[in-house]
Amino acid sequence: MSLTCYTKATKPFQGQKPGTSGLRKAVKVFQQDHYTENFVQCILSAMSGGLTGSTLVVGGDGRYFGKKACDTIIKMCAGNGVRKVIVGENGILSTPCVSCMIRKYKTSGGIVLTASHNPGGPDADFGIKFNISNGGPAPDSVTNKMYEISREIVEYRICPELHCDISTPGTQQFVVENRPFTVEVVDSVKDYVDYMKEIFDFPAIKDLITGAKGQPLKILINAMHGVTGPYVKKIFLEELGASPDSAVNIVPLEDFGGHHPDPNLTYAADLVKAMKEGDFGFGAAFDGDGDRNMILGHKAFFVTPSDSVAVIADNTDSIPYFKKNGVKGLARSMPTGCAIDRVAEKKGVEVFEVPTGWKYFGNLMDAGRLSICGEESFGTGSDHIREKDGIWAVLAWLSILAARNTTVEQVLLSHWGTYGRNFFTRYDYENCESGPCNQMMSELDAMSSDPGAVGKEHTHAGKTYKVAKIDNFEYTDPIDGSVAKKQGVRVLMTDGSRFVFRLSGTGSSGATVRMYVESYESDPSTFTKDAQDVLKPLVEIALSVSKLKEFTGRQQPTVIT
């Protein structure tokens, strides 16, 4: 029997503009009649190359509304002439896994159902993101096209009679308007786990964890009730032989147990506490969709994401993938601490500074100029896929510990001994009023064209910094020449210290201000100092230059990293 498709009349919704990582809004917004359908139609209509004969990967982090959205997407793919949809069992696929599968099966792209690290549940957030055929988030050219379409949309195509069961792996064949249409429900973890086994030396990591060659390394992995739970279970417990108490919160929940599934010192406080109290040598947490990670050592020794990527880049000889493919270039997002730049210099490879957002790394990777990159926002990854990858980062760290037979803290101390330490901190002011924050940003922006601001000295608690340059970061992609403007105001000091202000692109309501502060120290006696103490004078100067407290009305940040 051939199923019938329908063209449904609709009207544009305001604000269907994909942000840094897709369209993120409250679940209630997505639940409005036609809202989700409109946006899915925009994705499908914006796909270059057309849909006939195409295959798409669909899956997400298991948050509330994910299954409903999967069902809608499958029906609309059928209605729009897509040939095949590959969907994770129960709609579950981590973001790195979607990227991996798009590349492995050479599909036209994929749709990821996640609001990443934002809370989930009926009163929380949902999100839809489109990834292109290289496996990475759609670039601005594509998301702008989606947005243009969303402003003029009058109809969408759907096959409402198509009922498919995504709860068990297997292939389901349909005939839709006399065309074949296939839905393949796949095991959520298999392709990803197979790939990790190619990239890393699993037996070496297993020896480390089980103590085959000495003391076992006790690890504690906290999946924060996000999508990584099944991946953690398979990889760390089953493949690498970690004991059952090594993994917690590994059952994905639609509301992440009511928490923010965000691996930082505030929202992953239970991991920090357990690491402080227990005798674990290594701890890690991931965000809702599995692309972010936080790494901790014994007694909750904190590895900043900016240092984490630099350490991985410095130790590629511990990872078979890089031994095989070499390291072509390194990169970080602009606000990320500059530790990796020093590694690139020593290794004699290119280093790139891109705007915030993983999508900016994709072209460089596709052009064979970038192997390892990271962001201060707990994102670390490589050109093995086109998303950042939390579990990959943990396996990279465990590979380094296995090869060097040492601790997390010792790895950092020896890294700083070689390169010096880039002290880094980030202050977040979440959910502020948008108007005053925009005003603050435009006043900061105005300073970049004020010649009087450069050369000015700022002093706090006996420390003086002299402004060398102020700009609003602009990036020209070396591969396709596209330009991203106004990516954050940077105040650069003559000694290489700096602070940066930008507004978050991932919040779902109000404005979140991010302030990033960094200073470089080469004196070994400073290396073990607390970053907050070392950076305090510059933090105070940044607060006073920006008049942040006046604009936001906030005396304290919501989160300090």
Told to check if 72 binds ligand G6P by CB under 6 A, we report: no
Place of tokens 């199923």: 3
Binding segment (CB under 5 A) for Mg ion, from list 108-116, 276-284, 456-464, 489-497: 108-116
Interaction pattern, residues 259-298, with Mg ion; x per rule: CB under 5 A: ----------------------------x-x-xx------
Interior CA angle at 320 toward 340 and 310, to 5°?
A: 10
The CA-atom distances, in angstroms, between 34 and each of 7, 30, 103 are 12, 8, 31
CB of 515 to ligand G6P, least distance (A): 11
Nearest to 292 by CA among 137, 94, 58, 559: 94
67 or 129: whose CB is closer to ligand G6P?
129
């674990």: which residue's tokens? 280
Q: Is 290 in the site for ligand G6P (CB under 6 A)?
A: no
Residue 125 touching ligand G6P (CB under 6 A): no
Q: Which is nearer to ligand G6P, 20 or 131 (CB)?
A: 20
Which residue reads 């947490």 in tokens? 285
Q: Is 505 in the site for ligand G6P (CB under 6 A)?
A: yes
| Look-up of token digits 């099944």 | 230
Query: Does residue 356 touch ligand G6P according to CB under 6 A?
Result: yes
Give the range of 61-69, 217-225, 263-271, 373-381 binding ligand G6P by CB under 6 A: 373-381
Q: Would residue 116 show up in a list of annotated catalytic residues for this protein?
A: yes
Is residue 94 part of the contact set for ligand G6P (CB under 6 A)? no
Q: Which of 126, 321, 358, 516 binds ligand G6P (CB under 6 A)?
A: 358
Q: Work out which of 375, 389, 477, 518 binds ligand G6P, going by CB under 6 A.
A: 375
- Near ligand G6P by CB under 6 A: residue from 5, 16, 18, 20: 20
Query: How far, in Å, CA of 323 to CA of 32, rounded?
Result: 51
125 lines the binding site for Mg ion (CB under 5 A): no
The whole-angstrom separation of Cα 348 and Cα 328 is: 10
Q: Which of 363, 422, 506, 519 binds ligand G6P (CB under 6 A)?
A: 506
Measured at the CA of 103, the angle between CA 5 and CA 314, to 5 degrees, comes to 150
* Closest by CA position to 558, among listed 196, 127, 260: 260
Minimal distance in Å, beta carbon 290 to ligand G6P? 12
What span, in angstroms and rounded, lies between the C-alpha atoms of 287 and 285?
Answer: 7
Residue 434 interacts with ligand G6P (CB under 6 A): yes or no: no
- Of the candidates 94, 108, 116, 150, the residue annotated as catalytic is 116
Give the closest residue to 337 by CA, choosing from 363, 361, 304: 304
Contacting range for ligand G6P; rule: CB under 6 A; set: 53-61, 193-201, 272-280, 354-362: 354-362
Interface residue with Mg ion, options 36, 72, 116, 504 (CB under 5 A): 116
Query: In whole angstroms, how close is the CB of 232 to Mg ion at the nearest point?
Result: 15
- 139 is a contact residue toward ligand G6P (CB under 6 A): no
514: partner contacted, choices ligand G6P, Mg ion, none (Cβ within 5-8 A by kind)? ligand G6P
Residue of the chain from 3, 16, 18, 21 that contacts ligand G6P (CB under 6 A): 21
CB closer to ligand G6P, 91 vs 137: 137
380 binds Mg ion (CB under 5 A): no
At a CB cut-off of 8 Å and minimum separation 6, what does 66 contact?
60, 91, 113, 114, 126, 254
Residues in 184-243 at the binding interface with ligand G6P, rule: CB under 6 A:
none
Encode 10-23: b = buried (16+ Cβ within 10 Å), e = exposed. Answer: beebeebebbbbbb
CB-count exposure of residue 180 (10 Å: 0-12, 13-18, 19+): exposed
Please state, in angstroms and as integers, the Cα–Cα distance from residue 521 to each residue in 131, 418, 525, 530, following that order.
40, 12, 9, 13
Rounded least distance, CB 332 to ligand G6P, Å: 10
Q: Is 514 in the site for ligand G6P (CB under 6 A)?
A: yes
The smaller minimum CB distance to Mg ion, of residues 289 and 518, is found at 289
For the bound state, the minimum distance from the C-beta of residue 113 to Mg ion, rounded and expressed in Å, comes to 12
Nearer to Mg ion, 289 or 314 (CB): 289
377 sits near ligand G6P (criterion: CB under 6 A): yes
Name the token pair of 435.
Answer: 């108007």
**Residue 172: exposure state from Cβ atoms within 10 A (0-12, 13-18, ≥19):** middle
Q: For residue 439, give the 3-state DSSP assignment.
A: helix
- In this structure, what is the dihedral angle of CA atoms 48, 53, 54, 60, given to the nearest 10 degrees? 140
Q: How far is the CB of 506 from ligand G6P (least distance, A)?
A: 4
Q: How many CB atoms within 10 Å of residue 453?
A: 16
Q: Which positions are catalytic?
A: 116
Which residues of this chain interact with ligand G6P, rule CB under 6 A?
A: 20-21, 116, 333, 356-358, 375, 377, 379, 504-506, 514
Which residues of this chain interact with Mg ion, rule CB under 5 A?
A: 116, 287, 289, 291-292
